[in-house]
């Protein structure tokens, strides 16, 4: 790996000081923190024994953050995590860790698994994560486990996010929270927890509504969580109900400038009006209900048995107003022209999913071994329909369906997935300071589809033969941790796989491209992604309140699944396997606490590249990549810093800084703007830094007032970029003439929020 020496010198100095301090405290008593090494945590393992650096944020850390929702809090607090505001809605974030994604965007290549109280919440249809339906107000802890850890099951390529919620013991009494902010933000939260003998209960409700800082982007959501628990000498039993509903508008990318030559750039919609959207509506309605039953029972002093049973129902409907990719108006010109009435497409989708699952776990201690074994079975059914209707743009670039034009069914699918997994892991303390961890998991996954789409010859809807694909894999992991006083050295190697999702298999034919995020046309076989992760580093800490870690890592993906675009808008294309991609880099963090002050700094260096020859985009211009070319949308450098001060009893003041370097734009991975090798151009999105401030005042033990200001200097920047073509001029009027443009995802402007938290 090639590293930027100047960027790492301050980190090396800090780590050297930390090493010296750690050696001086070798005899100090360390606080033991136990963490689960699988979705069912079992008895857990001391974090100091693990061969990788986990990141854990507790409830107090999350509440003190000025982040407005769960994924943003993780992005601000965890090293290596970044959120791309591709959709523009705060609850539709596209979160990535080391370049692997956990996104709410259907069709995104997912690489992180997300668990809520042991239940995997990645949805069956596209492995998406509905961040908007998670109870972030009830989070007790957020743990980020790095690497292709097979213990967390299929599709855990870059890591796993384990979320746990509070119960009646950890959050007793009434708590209400009222909040208001810029862009018409309004939020109310009410919860109650308690304990009566062996029984505990917790009930929480949160309602959210906003006008949105971008045009035509209102949003609202409601999330309810209820928990009932029983704890006896024989074991624990817990029942959880989670229900949520949201209507969110994410209007996506907007053209920043148009160009005929790289140095001849003309302002476009996004630079004229910061809050503008390209086309609208872009509305997503989500509904989901999750019911889970979890129990544990001690089998003697050194063994614990666990079981988890869950059922989940989810519905998602979308309404999208887009440019017409094909000649919808029948005049022979793609996309229509000024005089055409039908120059747009009004698209609707509806998805229904039902899933059930069972997990069994057994963990124990035997001498110098801490072992765990488990079984998981997950079954899901999916039904999906997409309709298209001819439409036209109004003066605001909104799409209105044309009267008399019927909405026609363009694609449908009935699919099912089944995944069976068996895993075992053991942490062997070879000596009091040397610990070896081995994990092995066997998976059998089956994905079946019955597709209905328009036949090219007859123009009629036709159901295609049912296709079924089986994937079987045995994935290992092996790591070692060596403690040297207060410093622990570690190294780990792991392998895991990701099987194609229903949408990827349903949109894998280059002869029949489909529309993202939801078109389905044919289902040729796609190979599973196989990821091998290697990481090594050190972590340190002492009783004086400081601690941190340094990790070098490399993750190689074989048969990575990518979306290859074949249209000028980038929406039309198909999924295919790409021979090899690589994510390698460095994560470093340092935290300290002393007296009235606390703070921390984190730095991430990521080099994500294609490692084979291939073509990413086919059309008027072919984007051809070769080994070493960058993957779009991922910053090479990230820097995060936070500091907090308690100047007086009841007062707390904080600030955090988020800085990222420039990012390659999609469609410009090869550094060119046409097929001529001499016509080079850099359309990358510039880096930026954002400062956020927070303050809390607790006049009484039961009352707290808080205020937060994000992006206090009102920086204008973008978190993602893509080359495509626009049909609108700088004033937003429809021209019908295609112009090359850089589309960007603008970050939110300065925003504030003010609220109170009352506990009684």
Q: What 3-state DSSP class applies to 49?
A: helix
The single-letter DSSP state of residue 685 is B
Whether 617 maps to a domain, the answer reads no
How confident is the prediction for the chain on average, in pLDDT?
A: 86
58, 388 Cβ separation under 8 angstroms? no
Domains in the chain, number: 1
Q: What is the CATH number of the domain that holds 264?
A: 2.40.170.20
Whether 669 maps to a domain, the answer reads no
d(CA 689, CA 717): 9
First-to-last C-alpha distance (Å) of the chain: 55
Q: For residue 570, say if its preceding peptide bond is cis, omega within 30 degrees of 0.
A: no
Whether 585 maps to a domain, the answer reads no
Q: For residue 517, say if its preceding peptide bond is cis, omega within 30 degrees of 0.
A: yes
Query: Dihedral of the CA atoms 608, 614, 618, 623 (nearest 10)?
Result: 50
Which token pair is 546?
Answer: 């400081």
Which token pair is 686?
Answer: 């510039």
Question: Low-confidence residues of the chain, pLDDT below 70?
Answer: 1-37, 66-69, 88, 325-341, 456-457, 459, 511-524, 542-544, 566-572, 618-620, 677
pTM: 0.91
Whether 340 maps to a domain, the answer reads yes
Whether 702 maps to a domain, the answer reads no
Q: What pLDDT is recorded for position 357?
A: 96
Q: For residue 281, say if its preceding peptide bond is cis, omega within 30 degrees of 0.
A: yes
380, 420 Cβ separation under 8 angstroms? no
- Bridge partners for 315 per DSSP: 287, 352
Bridge-based pairing state of the strands 434-454 and 399-401: unpaired
Whether 633 maps to a domain, the answer reads no
- Bridge partners for 346 per DSSP: 321, 389
Q: What pLDDT is recorded for position 325?
A: 63
Which token pair is 507?
Answer: 């949109």
The single-letter DSSP state of residue 485 is T
Whether 524 maps to a domain, the answer reads yes
| Residue 33 phi, psi (nearest 5) | -115, 120
The single-letter DSSP state of residue 281 is -
Reference 236, options 245, 244, 227; nearest CA is 227
Query: Tokens 């003041």 label which residue?
Result: 653
Whether 488 maps to a domain, the answer reads yes
Q: What pLDDT is recorded for position 6?
A: 40
Q: What pLDDT is recorded for position 558?
A: 95
291, 309 Cβ separation under 8 angstroms? no
- Identify the domain containing residue 510 by its residue range: 5-543+735-759
Q: What 3-state DSSP class applies to 21?
A: helix
């Amino acid at each position: 790996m090639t590293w930027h020496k100047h960027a790492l010198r301050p980190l090396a100095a800090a780590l050297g000081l930390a090493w010296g301090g750690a050696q001086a405290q070798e005899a100090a008593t360390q606080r033991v923190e136990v963490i689960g090494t699988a979705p069912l945590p079992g008895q857990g393992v001391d974090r100091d024994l693990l061969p990788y650096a986990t990141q854990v944020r507790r409830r107090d850390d999350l509440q003190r953050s000025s982040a407005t929702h769960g994924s943003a809090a993780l992005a601000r607090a965890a090293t290596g995590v970044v959120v791309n505001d591709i959709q523009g809605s705060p609850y539709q974030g596209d979160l990535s860790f080391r370049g692997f994604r956990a996104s709410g965007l259907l069709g995104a290549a997912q690489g992180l698994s997300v668990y809520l109280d042991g239940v995997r919440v990645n949805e069956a249809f596209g492995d998406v994560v509905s961040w908007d339906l998670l109870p972030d107000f009830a989070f007790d802890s957020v743990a980020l486990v790095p690497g292709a850890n097979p213990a967390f099951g299929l599709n855990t390529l870059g890591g796993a996010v384990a979320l746990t919620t509070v119960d009646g013991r950890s959050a007793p009494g009434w708590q209400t929270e009222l909040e208001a902010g810029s862009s018409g933000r309004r939020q109310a939260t009410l919860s109650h927890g308690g304990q009566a003998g062996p029984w505990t209960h917790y009930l929480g409700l949160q309602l959210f509504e906003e006008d949105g800082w971008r045009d035509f982007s209102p949003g609202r959501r409601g999330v309810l969580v209820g928990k009932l628990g029983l704890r006896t000498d024989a074991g624990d039993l817990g029942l959880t109900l989670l229900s949520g509903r949201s209507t969110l508008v994410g209007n996506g990318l907007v053209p920043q400038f148009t160009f005929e030559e790289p140095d001849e750039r003309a302002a476009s919609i996004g630079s004229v009006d910061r809050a503008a959207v390209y086309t609208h509506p872009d509305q997503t309605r989500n509904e989901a209900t999750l019911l889970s039953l979890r129990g544990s029972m001690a089998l003697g002093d050194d063994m614990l048995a666990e079981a988890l049973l869950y059922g989940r129902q989810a519905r998602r409907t979308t309404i999208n107003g887009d440019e017409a990719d094909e000649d919808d108006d029948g005049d022979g010109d793609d996309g229509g022209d000024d005089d055409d009435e039908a120059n747009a497409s009004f698209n609707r989708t509806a998805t229904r999913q039902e899933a059930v699952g069972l997990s069994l776990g057994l963990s124990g201690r035997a001498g110098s071994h801490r072992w765990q074994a488990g079984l998981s079975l997950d079954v899901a059914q999916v039904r999906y329909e997409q309709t298209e209707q001819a439409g036209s743009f109004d003066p605001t670039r909104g799409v209105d369906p044309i009267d008399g034009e019927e909405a026609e069914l363009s694609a449908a699918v009935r699919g099912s997935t089944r995944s069976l997994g068996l895993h075992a892991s053991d942490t062997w303390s070879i000596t009091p300071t040397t610990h070896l961890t081995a994990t092995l998991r066997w998976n059998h996954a089956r994905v079946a589809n019955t597709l209905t789409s328009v036949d090219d010859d007859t123009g009629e809807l036709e159901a295609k033969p049912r296709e079924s694909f089986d994937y079987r894999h045995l994935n290992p992991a092996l790591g070692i941790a060596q403690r040297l006083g207060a410093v622990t050295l570690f190294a780990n190697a792991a392998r895991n796989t990701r099987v194609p999702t229903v949408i990827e298999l349903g949109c894998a034919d280059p002869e029949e491209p489909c529309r993202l995020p939801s078109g389905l046309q044919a289902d040729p076989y796609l190979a599973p992604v196989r990821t091998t992760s290697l990481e090594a580093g050190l972590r340190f800490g002492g009783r004086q309140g400081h601690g941190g870690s340094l990790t070098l890592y490399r993750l190689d993906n074989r048969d990575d699944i990518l979306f290859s675009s074949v249209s000028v808008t980038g929406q039309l294309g198909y999924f295919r396997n790409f021979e090899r991609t690589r994510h390698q880099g460095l994560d470093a963090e340092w935290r300290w606490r002393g007296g009235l002050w606390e703070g921390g700094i984190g730095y991430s260096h990521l080099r994500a590249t294609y490692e084979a020859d291939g073509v990413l985009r086919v059309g008027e211009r072919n984007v051809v990549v070769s080994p070493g070319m960058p993957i779009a949308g991922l910053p090479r450098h990230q820097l995060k810093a936070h500091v907090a001060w308690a100047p007086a009893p009841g007062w707390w003041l904080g600030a955090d800084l988020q800085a990222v370097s420039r990012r390659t734009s999609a469609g410009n991975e090869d550094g060119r703007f046409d097929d001529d090798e001499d016509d080079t151009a850099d359309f990358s999105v510039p880096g930026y830094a954002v400062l956020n401030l927070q303050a809390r005042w607790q006049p009484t033990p039961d009352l707290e007032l808080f205020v937060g200001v994000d992006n206090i200097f009102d920086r204008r920047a973008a978190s993602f970029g893509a080359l495509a073509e626009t049909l609108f001029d700088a004033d937003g009027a429809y021209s019908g003439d295609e112009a090359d443009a850089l589309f960007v995802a603008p970050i939110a402007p300065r925003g504030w929020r003010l609220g109170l938290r009352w506990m009684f």
